Amino acid sequence: MNPRRKLLIIDDDPDFVEGIKAILQTADYDVEAAYNPKDGFKALETGQYDMLLLDIMMGRGAEGIMVARKMRKDARLREIPVLIITGIREQIAFLFPGEQVHPRFVAVDELVEKPIEPKLLLEKVSALLATAEARKAQAG
């Protein structure tokens, strides 16, 4: 029997978070939110989450990327799948002027653009959870 999956959203726009949260809760996920990278990372370290939904443009720039990078350095957090939800792709290009833009500029699992259709959001979330679980089962 599967317990309810617990998801964390880190995004500095509370209204946007509500929109995402409502969809996920309707689909019976347990959802928590943090509204800045610092609180978000603290939550990751103390809580037990099955997945992270991460915004990129927070604070003074692309602070979301820092969260993803820090997660990669932590053996436990590395296992948590990350769905990046961001504004238009040009904004990412702007973070690295002159460099080639690739969605996988950090080792994240998926990247989608805001706003995201409920159906697409739920598909991505369940697919990422399934992949992570399969990975865990193989490792264990």
What's the closest the beta carbon of residue 39 comes to other proteins, in angstroms?
19
Cα dihedral angle (93, 97, 101, 104), rounded to 10 degrees?
Answer: -90
Q: Tokens 């409920």 belong to which residue?
A: 118
- Which of 53, 65, 28 lies closest to 112 in space, CA to CA? 53
What's the closest the beta carbon of residue 43 comes to other proteins, in angstroms?
21
Site of interaction with other proteins (CB under 8 A): 13, 15-16, 18-20, 22-23, 26, 57, 87-88, 90-91, 93-94, 97, 114-118
- Tell how far CA 117 is from the center of its chain: 16
What's the closest the beta carbon of residue 118 comes to other proteins, in angstroms?
4
What's the closest the beta carbon of residue 50 comes to other proteins, in angstroms?
21
* 26, two tokens: 């309707």
Closer to other proteins at the Cβ: 30 or 133? Answer: 30
Q: Tokens 């992270």 belong to which residue?
A: 52
Cα dihedral angle (72, 78, 83, 89), rounded to 10 degrees?
Answer: 10
Closer to other proteins at the Cβ: 5 or 21? Answer: 21
